[in-house]
Structure 1
Amino acid sequence: MGAFDNLIIFEMANSHQGSVQHGINIIKEMGKIARKYNVKAAVKLQYRDIDSFIHPDYKERTDVNHIPRFMSTKLTFEEFCELVEAVKEEGMVTISTPFDEQGVTWCIEQGLDIIKIASCSAMDWPLLEEVASSGKPLIVSTGGKTIADIDKIYNFFTHRNCDFALLHCVAEYPAPFGQLQLDFIDKMKKRYRDVPIGYSGHEDPDDHMVSMMAVAKGAIILERHVGLPTETITLNAYSMNPKQADRWVESIVMANDVCSLKNEDTKYITQAEIDSLNSLQRGVFVNRDIKKGEAIARKDVFFAMPYTEGQMTSGDFYDGVVASKDYRVNNAVIEKKYTSNIKSVRSVIHDAKGMLFEAGIAIGNQFEIELSHHYGMQNFRQTGAIIINIINREYCKKLILVLPGQKHPMHMHKVKEETFQLLYGDLEVMLDGQKLNLKPGDIQTVLRGQEHSFTSKKGAIFEEISTTHVKGDSYYLDPEIAKKDLIERKTIIKEW
């Protein structure tokens, strides 16, 4: 699990009133909640070197926003160290938001787990340079930032090889429901595919619907301000007391449970779900006596409930199924489902279309599909590839789809030189005995005469750019494949 996965951040409201003991009390309350729900939680502090952060002429001013609060909540480095130790003792992740370069130094010296950049500092380039050089995982809030601004932030940290996450945020305190724009999480996930996306909320602290919606949108980091009211301390309109924070965390846990796939690669279907649907399906019954070996036509059957286990359903039935035994009128038809290479090909084509849709790759309508089934169509999902031939001139362009768990056998080309660029998924390439694990965007050239094969764990789509493709220029190392005619190991499809 990465530094950002399923991370819940408790941000200390109003700098814990500038009191170390009050801060420790808040930390302990949040620790109880984290343990109650067994979540990965963090407490976030805020660091400013007040002596240099505020202009000397303004330190005593009470008419300038934030300055009186910052002055009254000032803590020393040693006092912040006490709070950091308290967070560690509660078994939580340590985070701080530095608002100046000295704050970054404190984060490093204290060995904090993560550095958080506030929305107001997200384009403070001198500060960001300091943060980027820290080597720490970074979380950046994007409140008040346009998509062009966020692009700059993304590129800034990407160019510096930083491990960072982005938080959707609306920098109004409190933030009205009509301004939350949670759909923007969708856009961020599509636009910044390699970066974790989260949500930092400032809405009504009694609300827990928004957090559930954010999880459903794909946010893997959730952040809220928290505090601890006392006889003398009243929380602001966007900060949660421990009871509200408890309900907030509970809602996140519930939403993750509701939204999460039981199998990360595909939809999990329970036996209870299958049984429920089977109880409503129509089974196939004969309307006349049928002899063993006789072909059963559509006119010979009727569809009705209840369906019984092992029986053909109305969806399984095909005209001409051969009876494997005698049937008497009204008997349930128990025969094998129809299988053929055509059905297998159609299933593969549907999978290929789905992969392209999921990857967001459009291929137009000028192409030819080639299924390479080196050991027969019946073994295609284990060995083979789907090749989409798009251009074949002096230059050649193909898209190659590898199904999950599928392998394309070792071979080489004498005439063609080719270059792969992985567009989607994971791809392991064996090239002259060297194993190469490609990630999206990676490029690998295969020279003439180089032996190569490829496989994918979860499925892959890669582009192949090459010199002109020449039929018969693939030389396979396995003699069983090498002796086959092209017609035996290729199926060409003009339309899908």
Structure 2
Amino acid sequence: MPGPSGNASNHWKIRMALQIGNFTIGEGRAFIIAEIGNNHNGSYDLAIELIDQAIQAGADCVKFQMRHLAQVYRERSLNKAGEDLGSEYIVDLLQRFELSKEEHRKLKVYCDSKDILYLCTPWDSDSLAILEDMQVEAYKVASADLTNVPLLEELAKTGKPLILSTGMSKTEEVEHTVAFLNERKTAFALLHCNSTYPAPFHDINLRWMDGLRKIHPVIGYSGHERGIAVSIGAATLGAAIIERHFTADREMEGPDHAASLEMPEFKQMVDGIRQVEEALGTGAERTLSQGEMINRENLAKSLVAAYPIKKGIEITAEHIKVRSPGQGLAPHFYDELIGKTAKRDMEFEDFFYPADLSENALEPRDYDFERPWGVPVRYHDYASFAERISPDFYEFHLSYSDMDLKLEDYLQGQYDCDFVVHAPELFAESRLMDLATPDENERQKSIFETQRVIDITRTLKAYFPKTKRPMIVANIGGFTMDAPLPDDEISGYYERFAKSLNELDRKGVELIPQTMAPFPWHFGGQRYQNLFVKIEEILHYCKLLDLRMCFDISHSALTCNHLGLDFYDFAEKIAPISAHLHLGDAEGLNGEGLQIEDGNLDFARLGKILNKGCPNAPFIPEIWQGHKGRGEGFWIALERLEGKL
């Protein structure tokens, strides 16, 4: 038998992860065990109820205990012949609260039917034999048996993975068992544990998980404390397994109930652990989220022109000042900007851009596409774009303040191209457009503002007479603050949107909802989007409401990433009802509006789908901050898309 040094691990490669059923334990997602143990108090019906509650709470596994008391306790203990009071109390409970072996078999079958893993702690050889016959996937070893070498030998011979609690054990005892199991090439995990019920916080010493990890790589936490904070903390510290006792009522008779969690609290723990896991990320180099980029633009500082600058002038410190918002060149480029030659005329407080640091700024040219193409503009920059390019159309992106501007201050005469309007999603007084909200007052306000957008669009037709029925791209609402809508509430939101459509005067325009990502950014913070996200809903309600869509490629790619769907299948389904296209790359769940070819999308493949499904749909490059540097982001996107659409 190997000694406590653990040298037996040299004979084979210690496994860094356990495979138990469909779960790979030790690769970033905590395996959460609802330890029912004997908290059923001998009632099979209560055991079934606890399984159902554990599923509802989000547990990966329910665990029970099985004993043949004659193999676990001395005869005098079972006969209550002068045993210590503590042992007498425990034996009395076990004799009353054990389930039969046949009931355990039925519980295993029930768990299989409910797709939750059944595990059990065998306290003796006969129990192990029964569980082996039941084809249990793995075994839990109680702290009391961590040094029970004969039982460990039998467990190792099964070839099944083991999960061992280390409560009540000294470090040298843990090391001895680790060496013993390594010698037998057993796959196992160790759980840090304090075996008091409930355990005082000052005794838990959660940081010992780091020491335990030096003894064996796969470690977890079996908690008996009050509340859920420590267990969530254990997950944060890298626990691959979290085990907590689970009960229907903490006031029931029995030693484990007081240290157990009831269903609502257990669910809060599971949700907290999953949130922590998501927040921990991969440890990759820090990148800005879309929400941070929005806030950076609104709150950060930029280098701007201190007074008007003529093209060709050498830029000095006197030409530069630092001001918000952060839409231009960041202040840490201050020294690099000094000495550069101005490549353009600049007005007072115009932003400097990264292009001002380069020798040759990218300029637009004539682009060749098989379908109409355009660029997004604001009223303020329309003239500067129109001097340099001749697209098939412009897409006017309106802010709520733009809706109060006089068009004649920015547009003169008639233009020989088409136009599209993108409605604001944010209005005055921090109100979001929501034509589907159950708040009737807010719905009416959204209808009022949307009607204003429609009226403005009709006015724009006088400047762009080629466009007979202009499209209005809109994010129509249906968002929630803290969680997605339940499935049974979705239809009510679509019904209110349909009601709003009927209350709008849409004569001469076409309102086209935009496909949405599941996690939109509003005011620099994340919300949950519930409408026009899932493809089957989009197809159903477009047919029902006689609508066409603006297919936002980046939004829908993020949706498919979140839902685990094939984006190109999504594209094939939505293309025939796509009236308009927003093209940007995407990555992960929040990588929205990336430059073409900077994300994960295959635009050559996508182009073939779009050319077949919606060959005439116009498009714009929808690139985050593409307008900066006099539209440099748009020109890069158009060059990369050329030949694909």
Give the TM-score, by structure 1 length: 0.58
Shift of 1:141: 0.7
- The correspondence for 1:220, drawn from 240, 254, 268, is 240
Q: Residues 316 and 337 of structure 1 are in contact (CA less than 8 Å); yes or no, is this contact kept in structure 2?
A: no
Query: Residues 293 and 26 from structure 1, CA distance in 2 versus in 1: closer, same or farther, beyond 3 angstroms?
Result: farther
- C-alpha distance in 2 between matches for 1:182 and 1:265: 22
User: What is the Cα deviation at residue 155 of structure 1?
Assistant: 3.2
Q: What residue in structure 1 maps to residue 366 of structure 2? A: none
Question: Quick check: 2:122–2:139 contact (8 Å CA) kept in 1?
Answer: yes
CA distance, structure 2, for counterparts of residue 125 and residue 238 of structure 1: 29
SS state of the match for residue 140, structure 1?
A: strand
Task: Show the counterpart of 1:171.
Answer: 195
* 1:27 has 2:48 as partner: yes
Three-state SS of the structure 2 residue aligned to 1:296 is coil
Amino acid at match of 1:212: I
Kindly provide the CA deviation profile for residues 114-171 of structure 1, in whole angstroms up to 9, marking residues without a partner as x: 2001111112122112112212121111112334433333333333332222211101
Aligned-pair distance for 1:302?
Answer: 1.3
| One-letter amino acid of the structure 1 residue matched with residue 292 of structure 2 | E
Shift of residue 90 of structure 1?
A: 3.3
Structure 1 residues 224 and 255: alpha-carbon distance in aligned structure 2, compared to 1, 3 A threshold: closer
Provide the residue aligned with 2:174 in structure 1: 150
On the 8 A contact 1:9/1:44 being kept in 2, the answer is yes
- Asked if 1:210 is matched to 2:230, the reply is yes
SS in 2 for 1:316: helix
Distance 2:186 2:121 in 1: 17
Instruction: Report if aligned partners of 1:291, 1:325 keep a CA contact under 8 Å in 2.
Output: yes
* Aligned equivalent of 1:185: 209
1:270 is matched with which residue: 289, 300, 307? 289
TM-superposed CA distance for 1:339, in Å, is 8.6
- The equivalent of 2:639 in structure 1 is none
Give yes or no for contact 1:15–1:46 (8 Å, CA) kept in 2: no
In the alignment, which residue of structure 2 is the partner of 1:120? 144
1:87 Cα offset (Å): 2.9
Once the 2 structures are TM-superposed, how far is the Cα of residue 193 of structure 1 from its aligned partner? Answer: 7.0
Corresponding residue to 1:255 among 264, 273, 278: 273
- Counterpart mapping for 1:31-70 below 5 A: 31-34=52-55, 36-37=56-57, 39-61=58-80, 63-64=83-84, 65=87, 66-70=90-94
**1:26 touches 1:228 (CA, 8 Å); kept in 2?**
no
Q: Which residue of 2 aligns with 1:312?
A: 329
Question: Which consecutive residues of structure 1, in runs of 5 or more, have no partner in the other structure?
Answer: 341-496
Distance 1:292 1:148 in 2: 77
CA deviation vs aligned residue, 1:16-57 (integer Å, no higher than 9, x gap): 33x3xx1342332332342x34x3432212122223332334
1:161 maps to which residue?
A: 185
How many angstroms apart in 2 are the aligned matches of 1:29 and 1:47?
17
Q: Displacement of 1:241 after TM fit?
A: 7.1
Structure 2 CA distance for partners of 1:305 and 1:211, relative to 1, 3 Å: same
- Take 2:356 and 2:273, find their aligned partners in 1: how far apart are those partners? 39
Tell me the equivalent position of 1:199. Answer: 221
Q: Is the 8 A contact 2:303 2:322 kept in 1?
A: yes
SS of 2:239's partner is: coil
How far off is 1:330 after superposition?
Answer: 3.2
Q: Displacement, 1:78?
A: 2.8
Does structure 1 conserve the Cα–Cα contact (< 8 Å) formed by 2:34 and 2:59? no
**Which SS does the other structure have where 2:329 is aligned?**
coil
> Structure 1's 335 and 229: CA in aligned 2 closer, same or farther, altered over 3 A?
closer
Structure 2 match to 1:334: 353
Match status 1:10 vs 2:34: yes
Once the two structures are TM-superposed, the CA of residue 307 in structure 1 deviates from its matched residue by 2.7
Q: Look up the equivalent residue of 1:333 and give its one-letter code.
A: F
| 1:61-80 aligned within 5 A | 61=80, 63-64=83-84, 65=87, 66-80=90-104
Counterpart code for 2:51: M
Q: Supply the distance in 2 between the matched residues of 1:104 and 1:188 (Cα, whole angstroms).
A: 27
Residue 60 of structure 2 aligns to a residue in which SS?
strand
Q: Is the 8 A contact 1:294 1:323 kept in 2?
A: yes
Q: CA RMSD in A?
A: 3.1
* Secondary structure class of the residue paired with 2:230: helix
For 1:82 and 1:122, the matched residues in 2 are separated by 28
Partner SS state of residue 260, structure 1: helix
Aligned counterpart in structure 1 of residue 319 of structure 2, from 274, 284, 300: 300
Percent identity reads: 24
In the other structure, the counterpart of 2:160 is: 136
Map residues 454-469 of structure 1 onto 2, 5 A cutoff.
Answer: none
What is the alpha-carbon distance in structure 2 between the residues aligned to residue 159 and residue 339 of structure 1?
A: 64
1:219-253 CA-partner distances (Å, limit 9, x unpaired): 2322222334599x5354644677x2322222221
User: Would the aligned equivalents of 1:211 and 1:248 in 2 still touch at CA under 8 Å?
Assistant: no
- Could you tell me which amino acid in structure 2 is paired with residue 283 of structure 1? S
Larger displacement relative to structure 2 (124-133 or 285-294): 285-294
How many residues were matched structurally? 327
Larger radius of gyration: 2
The secondary structure found in structure 1 opposite 2:326 is: coil
- Deviations, residues 263-286 of structure 1 (Å, cap 9, x unaligned): 546356431121112222111022
How far off its partner does 1:216 sit?
2.2
Deviations 1:420-451 (A, max 9, x none): xxxxxxxxxxxxxxxxxxxxxxxxxxxxxxxx
Q: After superposing the two structures, state which structure 1 stretch, 294-303 or 174-183, moved more.
A: 294-303
- Unaligned regions of 5+ residues in structure 2, if any? 1-21, 360-645
Distance 1:149 1:56, change over 3 A: closer
Structure 1 match to 2:299 = 280
Equivalent AA in structure 2 for residue 331 of structure 1: D
SS state of the match for residue 332, structure 2? coil
Higher strand share: 1
